[in-house]
Structure 1
Amino acid sequence: MSDSYYERLVDEDALVAYLEDHLGAVDDSDIVRHQEGHSNETLFVTWGDRELVIRRPPPGETADTAHDVLREYRVTAALSDTDVPVPEPLLACDDHDVIGSDFYVMERLEGDVLRDDEPDRFAAPEHRERIGYELVDTLATIHDVEYEAVGLGEFGRPAGYTQRQVDRWGKQLSWAFEVTEDERAVPDLHAVGDWLRANVPDTHPHTLVHGDYKLDNVMFGMTGADEARANRTADDNGEQSPELVAVFDWEMATLGDPRADLGWMLSYWRDPKDPAPSMPELTSRFMERVGYPSRVELVDRWEAHTGLAFEHERFYRTLAVYKLAGLGEMFFRRYLEGNSDNPLYPKMEARVPALAARAKRILEGDEPL
């Protein structure tokens, strides 16, 4: 990343002055940009003996729900006293004179984000099983939050959430197609969109939803500083096993349909029987290894924890892949218009039709749960 881009992300002198005012002066500090992620920007800050994280939107973006970091701060703060594991939020700032945008500060946690592979210390069948169960159990915990009791009663409009999701992504695709269909059409996506509009469930439960819940938006680690929790995560041989210690990336959180969250998580989860991934560049396959739970086992566990049934499962899994295709098609339009040099974007010419074909397989029952 060029120095000029980093300078657009943060005015170091102004940020240091802000942190001194709110956290106290320190002898040593350091600021580093985190290179992972495709949405909001993340900065790692060493502040004396404290390790912090700053979240801010990309420079030049207009504020919208996709980059609303203060919304992310609000939900994280509301959940900090619940059973949902979140990093401790410290500060929120809407003064753009500091770094040019809204931002918030939270404590940094130590652990592993499972994105491309599993760490060696988790590479045992019993650890793999726990990773899958911790992932879905935590999603169930999110869906069990009494959102009014924690101050999130006005956080969204849960009624009609699923219909709005179908409508929104149809509009996103229409915007992309204005340019991309001159290169190649994706008739399967039109057919999938028609099927989704005709099959939106009439009703759904109303819960807090994360909006982007998947394996690489959580962190696994051991909480050795808390002896009681460490003991609770020990196996019969006294060895510690993986524990989900934090859920990240809450900027899409709202009140809505928990089955949509589950469908989204499942769209990224691989079973050994699955066909080759439609978008290999963004697909992890290590959960095909022995020990990881199957999608059916994850659904069974979610149902047992929430008391809800995963009704209309083909609809929700199809919707998730439709949304992935929508993202890909928007990437492709940006590439065609010269608005991105991301090497992934031109690959969407072939990847989006493959995703559309996957969505059709799901809705037709040819790619079962």
Structure 2
Amino acid sequence: MTGDSYLDRLVDEAALRAYLESELGPAEGFAIEHHGEGHSNETLFVTWGDRKLVMRRPPAGETAESAHDVLREYRVISALSGTDVPVPTAVLACEDTDVIGGEFYLMDRLEGDVVRDAEPERFATPEHRRRMGEGLADTMAAIHTLDYEAVGLGDLGHPSGFTERQVERWGKQFEWAAETTRESREVPHVDEIGDWLEVNVPDEYEHTLVHGDFKLDNVMFAPGTPPWINAVMDWEMGTLGDPLRDVGWMLVYWDTDPLIPDLMPGFLDRPGYPTREELIEQYERASGIEFVHREFYVVLALYMLAAVCEMFYARYLNGNSEDDLYPKMETLVPDIGGRAKELIDGDRTV
């Protein structure tokens, strides 16, 4: 680790070493590296002897209630092992916050690429690009068609009333952040968007396992070609609920006009990548679930994104992150609200 004060707050190396020795046995080699690509839970690479592991823990400092639930991630990936939903192998979980200052879990580290800022050269053909998109839709369909009762996740959430609660929950998350951020600036339209969502919640929807943060850079593509997904990651918001909530979220991030270039791929206009409509059709074929009420689910996703990004901005203002992206949310969150307002007003289509 470096001497950086924020990184020092993420893990006590001596305490972690003692814990790993008690749980995994002694090892000659021990190293920790902070992986700074994510913007929510913290990810650290841990080497323990010959084992390459990944640690997930919440960010340092205050967080919104119910956010950053890493032990939920651990439970889900443990249950999904051996199913059609690819996940890393869970190793251990620690609820004792005295060990490193927060709950955490460890999983095996897989080889492959997380496609975020640029496409891997080996995928830079129309055929491989199309397969990347189709694989993303197929993997989401595998999540939504999984028999969650059979793998022991029947009590993971309460699917009845899920979508109604999502509107309420993300409004509260935004308000939590706004207690800090409104001193810096206001976000236009956010109350109007929340009111519109409350009025337009669908009366009925499927009940499935839901990832909660399903998008291109939360899956890993295995080495080689053709592209295939060997892991779905970041299950902190995994629950039982409305699968179309995942679809709307994926579509917000699959956009040739990305709202947040630092968070969203900027290469989806290249030949071969499926359009949004083609992704929807692939998902519907693979899952047997129709993507209805499209405007509602995309507006909901934008409302969620605004809340998440406003929490990023609050963490920056509170001094609880050194992520270079967070201060940009001063202007980007109002842009997200503007995009949602365009959909509501009919000035933009899904």
Report the TM-score when normalising by structure 2: 0.92
Mean Cα displacement is larger for which, 301-310 or 164-173?
A: 164-173
- Cα separation, partners in 2 of 1:107 and 1:184, compared to 1, 3 Å: closer
Tell me, yes or no, if the aligned pair for 1:314 and 1:365 is still in contact at 8 Å. no
Matches within 5 A, 1:209-248: 209-222=210-223, 240-248=225-233
Q: Does 1:347 align with 2:316?
A: no
Q: CA deviation at 1:71?
A: 1.1
Q: CA deviation at 1:70?
A: 1.2
Question: Structure 2 CA distance, aligned partners of 1:6 and 1:179?
Answer: 23
- Cα separation, partners in 2 of 1:49 and 1:314, compared to 1, 3 Å: same
Tell me, yes or no, if the aligned pair for 1:210 and 1:250 is still in contact at 8 Å. yes
Local SS of the residue matching 2:262: helix
Tell me, yes or no, if the aligned pair for 2:6 and 2:321 is still in contact at 8 Å. no
- Cα separation, partners in 2 of 1:13 and 1:351, compared to 1, 3 Å: closer
Return the letter of the residue paired with 2:122. R
Question: Structure 2 CA distance, aligned partners of 1:62 and 1:325?
Answer: 16
Q: Does 1:138 align with 2:139?
A: yes
Q: Which ranges in structure 1 are unaligned for 5 or more consecutive residues?
A: 224-239
Tell me, yes or no, if the aligned pair for 1:209 and 1:257 is still in contact at 8 Å. yes
Tell me, yes or no, if the aligned pair for 1:222 and 1:241 is still in contact at 8 Å. no
Question: Structure 2 CA distance, aligned partners of 1:28 and 1:331?
Answer: 35
Q: Which residue of structure 2 aligns with residue 288 of structure 1? A: 269
Return the letter of the residue paired with 1:280. P
Q: Which residue of structure 1 aligns with residue 95 of structure 2? A: 94
Local SS of the residue matching 1:128: helix
Local SS of the residue matching 2:221: strand
Aligned match for 2:292, one of 311, 316, 330: 311
Question: Structure 1 CA distance, aligned partners of 2:237 and 2:278?
Answer: 26
CA distances 1:223-277 after superposition (whole Å, capped 9, x unpaired): 8xxxxxxxxxxxxxxxx31111101110111111100001001000024xxxx43
Q: Does 1:256 align with 2:237?
A: no
- Cα separation, partners in 2 of 1:207 and 1:101, compared to 1, 3 Å: same
- Cα separation, partners in 2 of 1:345 and 1:56, compared to 1, 3 Å: closer
Tell me, yes or no, if the aligned pair for 2:64 and 2:173 is still in contact at 8 Å. no
Matches within 5 A, 1:98-109: 98-109=99-110
Question: Structure 1 CA distance, aligned partners of 2:285 and 2:252?
Answer: 20
Question: Structure 1 CA distance, aligned partners of 2:93 and 2:131?
Answer: 34
Tell me, yes or no, if the aligned pair for 1:201 and 1:312 is still in contact at 8 Å. yes
Question: Structure 1 CA distance, aligned partners of 2:291 and 2:97?
Answer: 43
Tell me, yes or no, if the aligned pair for 2:316 and 2:327 is still in contact at 8 Å. yes
CA distances 1:283-341 after superposition (whole Å, capped 9, x unpaired): 32112111111111111111111111111011001111111122333444555566666
Q: Which residue of structure 2 aligns with residue 237 of structure 1? A: none
Local SS of the residue matching 1:149: coil
CA distances 1:139-165 after superposition (whole Å, capped 9, x unpaired): 110111111111111111111111111
Q: Which residue of structure 2 aligns with residue 326 of structure 1? A: 307
Q: Which residue of structure 1 aligns with residue 33 of structure 2? A: 32
Q: CA deviation at 1:68?
A: 1.6
Report the TM-score when normalising by structure 1: 0.87
Tell me, yes or no, if the aligned pair for 1:210 and 1:254 is still in contact at 8 Å. yes
Tell me, yes or no, if the aligned pair for 1:65 and 1:252 is still in contact at 8 Å. no
Question: Structure 1 CA distance, aligned partners of 2:99 and 2:115?
Answer: 33
Question: Structure 2 CA distance, aligned partners of 1:156 and 1:83?
Answer: 21
Q: Which ranges in structure 2 are unaligned for 5 or more consecutive residues?
A: none
Question: Structure 1 CA distance, aligned partners of 2:233 and 2:217?
Answer: 9
Q: Which residue of structure 1 aligns with residue 199 of structure 2? A: 198
- Identity across aligned pairs (percent)? 60
Aligned residue-pair number: 349
Tell me, yes or no, if the aligned pair for 2:90 and 2:107 is still in contact at 8 Å. yes
Q: CA deviation at 1:40?
A: 1.5
Mean Cα displacement is larger for which, 173-182 or 106-115?
A: 173-182
Q: CA deviation at 1:279?
A: 2.7
- Cα separation, partners in 2 of 1:86 and 1:64, compared to 1, 3 Å: farther
* Rg comparison, structure with higher value: 1
- Cα separation, partners in 2 of 1:180 and 1:61, compared to 1, 3 Å: closer
Return the letter of the residue paired with 1:15. L
Q: CA deviation at 1:4?
A: 3.5
Mean Cα displacement is larger for which, 256-265 or 9-18?
A: 9-18
- Cα separation, partners in 2 of 1:109 and 1:180, compared to 1, 3 Å: closer
Question: Structure 2 CA distance, aligned partners of 1:180 and 1:171?
Answer: 14
User: What RMSD over aligned residues (CA atoms) do the two structures have, in Å?
Assistant: 2.2
Return the letter of the residue paired with 1:249. D
Q: CA deviation at 1:220?
A: 0.5
